Structure 1
């Protein structure tokens, strides 16, 4: 396994040592890790920690292949697919020799678990931004910037020992002085503050969505009310028309029934009258025949010839 190059191993280990007062992390992400020199140096103090790295180049895949890293991710930490994949996964995230970019700090806090620690070394003071993100500043120090790992690819191999010695000497001479150009900050991601911030964002998002939904409901209600009123008016007109038609049809039906009753009554009366006449005629005919029979008998009795 290749030993770390510049910055010096002692310098990298001194950076890792600042995390010893805290519980040993289960997982650690090093941002812009390059060849994973820092995770390799930090493992001497944290042998049971799983180190991952993210870098814009494929060197991170080589570091994974030589077992300096458990996982290597090619890209930027601010890439949405990387942030989403690593969200709330790490106990420690290290940002070394990086400008205090607010987007990168926010992405680092997103992949950090609540209660986890962020280790930042930057030429810019990141404390104000971290506090605005709901973090508690645990420790702050000033130190000189060491040679970035990317510079080692541009330096001739014969100059690497000189670069390491100069880096270590400057770190010792300028540490804690106003000439130290780098801030070293350890911040903790507070559970309650971060949760309140997340809940606040969710509440504001829900309020905005609710306001839009309420506006849509009001507009829909007004439209529905107008349509309902129109439908009621049309229904009332239809009901009025149907009612008038029903009344007219009812009056016509009642008139037809009355006329039918009158016709049937007249027919019944005519039938009764005809029946009375027929019965009267039959009675008169019977009486006439009854009177004629005795008369004929009397005439036969008077006439001896008969």
Structure 2
């Protein structure tokens, strides 16, 4: 069954869910910061769904006291389900869904240009190299692993480390079959932490915390899973990046409505200290993904030239409209290529001047007592 047929089959159910508008997709708006409890909140970003183009508008608030940035109002369980899936696509782990999500929006050759801006193998392994200078782990759990491409790459540097993966992705079994990980844990870290207590030397969260409804609970669960002396490796978008302020809603890492929390580096380090960790490494340069301009251009084009054949539109588009959109995207390829070149060439300068879009933290769990 092709995508157009899948879209047509989903249309009645999707329109029925939208009959009452998007209000049921949101929880009540809160008037205090979920991190520090302050009531001094500021609106940082208001945006529609720029990737899939689903109905609704979303707000990110910033705490004036601790700088925590969070979705307010947050999605309800019904909203999480509605905005989680793409149009007619299978359920994928987050790290793999990023490529599928954008390819659906930009299509064809333009998508190929855009997705080259994803984290390179060199950048992916930078955290592994940094950690391997501190410890040689026997066991490693990658949380939110998707199809386990990160563990597969990490094995190049740590061939004697046993890598396991944890995710809700049904493709985890395939990752085991391909030898990317040895054991798959399907589910949520907060639910499985008790069963995995004290089992791992290293736990990695690569662009994971911003997707979870309670980052603090995730950190507590990570502490449970690690052995005394074990290490936690975290990479996350940096909400204090100058790129975030400059690009606003077009900053790729915001990805509303799918990212409910953005934890500033200082907040994360303090929380780790309170949980009994010692921060042994911080990096705001090498975790940078050189794709901000490319993705901003793609999101803007996707907003101007949205996919007309989606199940939340009452009727399928005429064939000429589809051909016109496809031609417009082909015409946009030089723009995306130019943006990609700028991202790569300017990356060394950007990461030295506060425009790096991500940070990395390595922390050691200290023994109790």
State the TM-score bracket (shorter-chain normalisation).
Answer: 0.5 to 0.7
Q: 2:273 aligns with which of 131, 148, 158?
A: 131
**Structure number with bigger Rg:** 1
Cα RMSD after superposing both structures: 3.2
CA contact (8 A) 1:90 1:113 kept: yes
Query: How far apart in 2 are the matches of 1:33 and 1:165?
Result: 29
| Count of aligned pairs between the two proteins | 181
Pairing 1:97-246 to 2, within 5 Å after superposition: 97-99=207-209, 101-123=215-237, 124=263, 125=265, 126-143=268-285, 145-146=288-289, 172-191=348-367, 195-196=368-369
In structure 2, the residue matched to 1:39 is 151
Structure 1 residue 85, shift from structure 2 partner? 1.8
**SS at the partner of 2:360?**
strand
Rounded Cα–Cα distance in structure 2 between residues aligned with 1:66 and 1:53: 13
Q: CA deviation at 1:41?
A: 1.1
**Looking at both structures, which has the greater relative contact order when contacts are Cα pairs under 8 Å and sequence separation is at least 6?**
2
1:59 aligns with 2:201: no
| Distance apart, 1:19 and its partner CA | 1.1
1:69 is displaced (CA, Å) by 0.1
- Aligned residues of 2:290 and 2:344 also touching (Cα < 8 A): no
Offset, 1:13: 1.6
Q: Give the corresponding residue for 1:12.
A: 124
Shift of 1:190: 0.5
Preserved CA contact (<8 Å) 1:142 1:177: no
With over 3 angstroms needed to count, the CA separation of the structure-2 counterparts of 1:51 and 1:168, relative to structure 1, is farther
| Distance in 2 separating the partners of 1:135 and 1:94 | 14
Q: Confirm or deny: 8 A CA contact 1:93 1:108 kept in the other structure.
A: yes
Q: Secondary structure at the match of 1:78?
A: helix
Contact 2:142 2:203 in 1 (8 A): yes
Output the CA distance in 1 between the equivalents of 2:365 and 2:227: 8
Q: TM-score, normalised by structure 1?
A: 0.52
Q: CA deviation at 1:56?
A: 1.4
Paired residue secondary structure (2:145): coil
Give the 3-state SS of the residue equivalent to 2:153 in structure 1: helix
Deviation at 1:9, TM superposition (A): 1.3
Counterpart pick for 1:49 among 136, 161, 165? 161
Displacement after TM superposition at 1:166 (Å): 7.9
Q: Is the 8 A contact 2:209 2:218 kept in 1?
A: no
Aligned counterparts of 2:140 and 2:162: Cα–Cα separation in 1: 6
C-alpha distance in 2 between matches for 1:140 and 1:60: 30
For 1:90, the equivalent position in structure 2 comes to 200
Once residues 199 and 275 of structure 2 are traced to their aligned partners in structure 1, the CA distance between those partners, rounded to angstroms, is 18
- Spell out, residue by residue over 1:222-278, the C-alpha distance to the aligned partner (whole angstroms, 9 max, x if none): xxxxxxxxxxxxxxxxxxxxxxxxxxxxxxxxxxxxxxxxxxxxxxxxxxxxxxxxx
User: How far apart are 1:94 and its partner, in Å?
Assistant: 0.7
Unaligned runs of 5+ in 1: 152-157, 197-306
Distance across 2 between alignment mates of 1:128 and 1:167: 32
* TM superposition shift of 1:174: 3.2
**Corresponding residue for 1:262?**
none
Could you tell me how far apart the structure 2 residues matched to 1:89 and 1:147 are? Answer: 35
Q: Is contact 1:36–1:53 with CA below 8 Å preserved after alignment?
A: yes
- 1:72 aligns with 184
Q: Which has the higher helix share?
A: 1
